[in-house]
Structure 1
Amino acid sequence: MAHTQVYSRYDNLLVTFVLPITNIGAGMTWSGLPYLLASETSDLSNIPVLFIASVTASALFTLIGGTVADHFQRKSVVIVCLIADASLTLALAGIGSANTIYLFYAVSFSSALIGSLNGSILGLWIKDILNATADNLARSLAQRGIWNISAKAIGFSIGPVIYKVLAFNALYVDALFSVIPIIALFWIHDPDRTNHGRVGWSGGYTEIAKRDFWTRERRLIISLYALTASYTVPTVIISYAVLLGRFGYDVVNASSFWLFASLGSVISHLGLAQRFADRLNSGTRLVVGQAIMAVGFIGLWVSDSISSFIAFFMVFTFSNPVITNSLETEVYEKCSDSFRGRFAALCYLSDDLAGLFVLTTFNLYGADERGDFFYLLSIPIMTFAILLIYSNRSYLNSHSEKQRAD
């Protein structure tokens, strides 16, 4: 595969260092803030509401992030986002003594608002670097995923403990993990993208709205994003609430839940990195991932012990990178650089809206200690997603084979 050598392997090394550091702080807040909220209020229904605030903020900035990614130097925007995130986190930490439920929502909303912009741009930027310095994008993403998930494992595991001990003062620690990567980012080369792509701010979405843009594969990709998001992210969030509801507010259980969840993802990324992405084509990977996810999902529903619940959640998280890796690779490779950010943003927006719908529905009509309503709601959606992938497997497989031949 021929590449335009815009980036060097040195850039690859630096960006490999940056993302895991930010993921430690993000993982710590992701697991610690809900634990603090649930333990202080003794109301598990607050956990889905907390993440509803987060997903809403993410949806608001997703489309803007896609446009910005296509227009400006990605490094500059990421640095600005990290500075803004650290500043806002420090400001919220400063008023942490108020310790009201609204402060929990403010932290979740603000973190996701900036994170959605930063995440969409940083994700594309990393793929640019990997695509220029590696022979297989899917395998390279999996290799980077090992570092990222390992970092999140650290953040997820220490999050409940840190927030239990420090309460809102833990936000000072979170801000530190946004400041450190800024130094490394200054050393990475990135081309200027001002007005990149020769389309206006709304022009890119106007082009995407045209009928001929939506090929069969692109329609399939965005549909799968929406379908899988309707039960993947909600399962993580609601299962955390179910864990605390079924087995109590033990900080060891909470930390173990996130530790083994991350371990499942690490093992999965190791499999993808060891040429699993080469040996199985896109359609087959998606079918296998969905089948494994279904096993973990049903196991979570029927588990009555803490050990089996955590074990099945580990199975569930093992399957998620298989699905995500395939979809992210497809998004990157099926769109030109001029519109890649916008198409990715539409996929992520469908992801956010699907998760928001399910979480809101669960919170309004079916919040319960066991999560029975959610599991019953998700089974038909998951079944439809598996059937959709299976019915299109020959198309996806033949397309993947063509890519490898090219």
Structure 2
Amino acid sequence: MRTADFHFDLPPELIAQRPAERRDAARLLVLHRKTNQIEHRRFSNLLEFFRPGDVLVLNNSRVIPARLRGKNTKTGGKFEILLLEENARNDWWTMLRPGKRAPIGTQIQLQEKNGGDSKIIATVTDVNEDGHRQLQFSGTSNIFNDLDTLGEMPLPPYIERHGELPEDKERYQTVFAQPAGSVAAPTAGLHFTPELLEKIRALDVKICFITLHVGAGTFLPVKVENLAEHTMHTERFEVGQETVDAVNEAKKSGHRVIAAGTTTLRTLESVARQNAGKLNVHKGKTNIFIFPPGEFQIVDALLTNFHLPESTLLMLASAFAAPGEKIRGRDLILSAYAEAIRERYRFFSYGDAMLIL
């Protein structure tokens, strides 16, 4: 299939700039993939679609304040830094803007949130083929520990901000976030409240977690025309014993596994592909790219947000809508998206949700 096969036109006013007033007040489009039926509900109505014995799997990675600001120590020119991946303590791959003004050897003094100068210097030590800069930080024992005081939440570029809003620190984070490491939120999880999670447990649904640290590559466009030529970014993940036991038991006993988010689905299916269709305790990296006619061994239902045109996330949702089929899933998803646009759903990270059953 081709990248252009996954294009759709989205009115820019439907790109959500702020979250819903309450997390579970977002709208929920329910797609029944076997019958093509669509329901328009609220996220709080999610309870109606669970069955006793279901297993709901969530990604509990915590978003780090990965956006930093600084200035060239010689010229005073301003830079925006987005941390991507830690190579070693104080050694990170980053997206730097404007990158063209940062050749190897450039030194950048990090700024405090109030605009004052910090004592931390970032030196450009390498540039890769994607234009990302490798930075070495000095003046601190570990830049990771300074992010809460220096950094801003790494909102995606389609959320327009002139500085961070107070609500972003809370709302661009799930209520169950634990290990820190993501530079983008696992957005399907943003809709859950502690109260809703307790109501789900009361339905005899097992809730468990994986950890996949979401990279900024989730927003990168597919640059090749033929999908088979695309290479996904690599992300770190971990699956623990409790989740392994719950998921394997559900599959054995005929109960459903419901993945909250594409990151959760990619983690579960990555492990299954390496382990004869079952889960095992696993810690590693994945660059799994699922697109039509993809097959799924673990996940029976997918909860996800509405994704960007021609994105790998939209391709994954299309594959899930009709596993093993090349065209039908894409047509189902694009038809559902067209209806969501007509019904004025809100799209992307702070937007509404979709449940594919």
TM over 0.5: no
Question: Of Structure 1 and Structure 2, which has the larger fraction of its residues in helix?
Answer: 1
Higher strand share: 2
TM-score by length of 2: 0.25
Give the TM-score, by structure 1 length: 0.23
